[in-house]
């Protein structure tokens, strides 16, 4: 009887841990001078300057995102560099980080965005690197 209960317990644990949203996240780290606003999956997420926001339990799929930003007072011009918009592909266990930073020189504000992921980018069909 104990063996049957043990097998049922293990089976239930395995079943509950299977999910299309297993351990996925999108982390937004804002090192820029102003707030960032991320439009992702039909919702806007605000990331104040100097803060980090984590969006968890993302379902599998490919999603578009667009970042907008506030320009600090005193700026006469602004430029955006990097991946302020694009797509993210979420698979089981995917973790994505979008890092925002900025410079403010001679009244010119420049914001930078870089996106990284923990997914393996290795091309499995490449015959040169099996």
- Residue 21: what pLDDT? 46
- Residue 20: what pLDDT? 45
- All structural domains of the chain, each given as residue ranges with its CATH number in brackets, are 24-117 (2.60.40)
Closest CA to 111 of 85, 87, 86, 82: 82
Give SS3 for 4.
helix
Q: Please give the Cα distance from 30 to 20 (Å, whole number).
A: 28
Instruction: Spell out the per-residue pLDDT of the chain, length 130, in tens.
Output: 656 655 555 555 555 555 444 699 999 999 999 999 999 999 999 999 999 999 999 999 999 999 999 999 999 999 999 999 999 999 999 999 999 999 999 999 999 999 999 987 655 555 555 4
3-state helix, strand, coil in the chain (%, to 5): 10, 50, 40
Per residue in 31-47, pLDDT tens? 999 999 999 999 999 99
Per residue in 92-104, pLDDT tens? 999 999 999 999 9
Closest CA to 111 of 75, 76, 69, 73: 69
Q: Which residues of 2-22 are buried (b: 16+ CB within 10 A; e: fewer)?
A: eeeeeeeeeeeeeeeeeeeee
Average pLDDT score over the chain: 86
* Half-sphere exposure in the Cβ direction for 73 (13 Å, CA): 0
Looking at the DSSP bridge assignments, the partners of residue 113 are: 82, 100
Q: CB neighbours of 29 closer than 8 A, spacing ≥ 6?
A: 47, 52, 97, 98, 99, 100
Name the pTM for this structure: 0.77
- Residue 120: what pLDDT? 72
Q: What token pair was written down for 83? A: 């991946």
């Amino acid at each position: 009887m104990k063996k049957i209960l043990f097998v049922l317990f293990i089976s239930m644990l395995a079943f509950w841990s299977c999910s299309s949203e297993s351990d996925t996240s999108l982390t937004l780290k804002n090192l820029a001078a102003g707030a960032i606003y991320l439009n992702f999956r039909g919702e806007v997420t605000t990331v104040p300057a100097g803060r980090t926001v984590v969006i968890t339990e993302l379902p599998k799929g490919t999603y578009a995102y667009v970042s907008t930003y506030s320009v600090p007072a005193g700026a006469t011009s602004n430029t955006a560099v990097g991946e302020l918009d694009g797509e993210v592909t979420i698979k089981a266990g995917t973790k994505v980080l979008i890092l925002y930073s900025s410079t403010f020189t001679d009244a010119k504000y420049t914001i930078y965005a870089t996106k990284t992921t923990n997914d393996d980018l290795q091309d499995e069909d490449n015959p040169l690197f099996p």
